[in-house]
Amino acid sequence: MATTTRDGVKLHYERHGEAGDPLLLVMGLGGSLDFWEFQTPVLARHHQVCVYDNRGVGHSDKPAGPYDVHTLADDAIAVMDACGFARAHVLGLSMGGMIAQDLAVRYSDRVGSMVLAATYARPDEDARKMGAAPALDAKIIEPKQMFKLLMSMVLSPEFIARERTWLHATRERMLATFTVEGFIAQLAAVMAHDASADLGRITAPTLVLKPSADKLIPPRASDELAAMIPGATLQTFDHATHGFNVEQPDKFNRAALDFFASHPLADASRF
């Protein structure tokens, strides 16, 4: 198990693939690197891929929160350093897309291009209400029920009914390292994120992926995000849920690969 440490916090990461431009995958709220299982082996055929667990989840440390996106982005840079990536493409999903935004603003020299999937520039009133819901109170969360609630918001009923075996295995992997405190600490970062004043400074070529049936982050948030980033491209996935990297992996992977291929890294990309 590969780890690096930043400010005393251990961060777990994995390297996959030996050729192509470096690519950093940044997962969303409560998700470990396992949630890239439909992306990592495919993308690693074309890229040197680094996946990792954000602080608060998986095999990374889970220090007391709350966290903020700046801290999580600084962690991402530490992971890039550990992987030997001086510069990389970045693919961020949900909270991972918020981290990617911060990387592109504060570490512009480290980001070649980026794909932002199912994410927002800032929470709207509906998102704020959801983040403050009593069901998300750390004192009363039951992990299995939390997983069930999240999956009902992230995946379609049809997928849940069809993929019960996969869901059970995924739940068991998640719960083996899950802590309520880590989840709530990450949630604080998501709810406090507001990059709207800074997105106009982004110079990295950007693709925004918009799942049209997202229950967790309103699809209109993708429209707003793409409008705020200079030159950003918006691609809509019809009938797609928040977890469209799982439900529509072939289309999701193709969109990312095609975009990164159209923006190859021109300079030395490794230390």
- Per-position DSSP letters for 187-220, written without gaps between them: HHHHHH---TTTGGG--S-EEEEEETT-SSS-TH
Q: Where are the domains of the chain?
A: 2-261
Average pLDDT of span 53-80: 97
pLDDT tens figures, 222-262: 999 999 999 999 999 999 999 999 999 999 999 999 999 99
Does residue 184 sit in helix, strand or coil? Answer: helix
- Dump the DSSP string for 134-176: GGG-TTT--HHHHHHHHHHHHS-HHHHHHTHHHHHHHHHHHHT
pLDDT for the residue 173: 92
CA distances from 115 to 101, 185, 200, 205, 211 (A): 10, 25, 16, 9, 13
Q: What is the pLDDT of residue 266?
A: 78
Largest CA distance in the chain: 51
Confidence at residue 201, expressed as pLDDT on a 0 to 100 scale = 97
CATH topology (fold) of 2-261? Rossmann fold (3.40.50)
User: Rounded mean pLDDT of 82-108?
Assistant: 98
Q: What is the pTM of this model?
A: 0.95
